[in-house]
Amino acid sequence: MTERPKLWREETVETKPIFDGQVITLQVDTVRLPDGGTTTREIVRHPGAAAIVALREDKLLVVEQYRKPMEKFQVEIPAGKLDPGEDPMEAAFREFEEETGYRAASMKLISAFYTSPGFADEKLYLYWAEGLEKGTMQLDEEEYLAVDAITFEQAQQYIREERISDAKTIMAVYAWERYRLTGTI
């Protein structure tokens, strides 16, 4: 059996703010290493987000929108960032209706995870929506997207084609697959 190496915390010596935007902030921290030396860590701060897996007539509700960082259209599950101090489940209810025009009677947490812990503190909460009914779509001012409902087979094909290529939506498709196989989320 291999001995596990000793773990340590990196002590922050200095934090230098670089950018303060509408969605993220960027800072560079100088940290002390176990050997006494120092190095820097570039850190993206994000308020977190909620994403929603919602089935309507055994089809996954998705949105398609242009994603500038990737320079392509992307099919994703509905999601949005948390407002300051907002409960993630409340954000899920809000974002789901705003982006899809549907309301959910209830939400169940599937998982919460960090999207890229090597450089960002964004925590994403993935919910399963139940009891869907028609609501009111209210997109943000600079938000342009199309709502669709796709079959499980389409979702798998979109992953192969990289039309779905973000972690939250791929994880949602796996949760849907588990639900199809076991009846539980």
| CA dist., res. 41 & res. 68, Å (int) | 25
SS (H, E, C) 7-41: CCCCEEEEEEEEEECCCCEEEEEEEECCCCCEEEE
Q: Where are the beta strands (DSSP E) in the chain?
A: 11-20, 25-32, 38-45, 49-56, 59-67, 72-76, 79-81, 102-114, 123-134, 146-150
Closest CA to 105 of 152, 149, 54: 54
Q: Is 86 a catalytic residue?
A: no
Distance, first Cα to last Cα, the chain: 36
Residue among 141, 143, 153, 162 flagged as catalytic:
141
In the Cβ-directed half-sphere of 149, how many Cα atoms lie within 13 Å? 9
Question: Could you list the active site residues?
Answer: 141
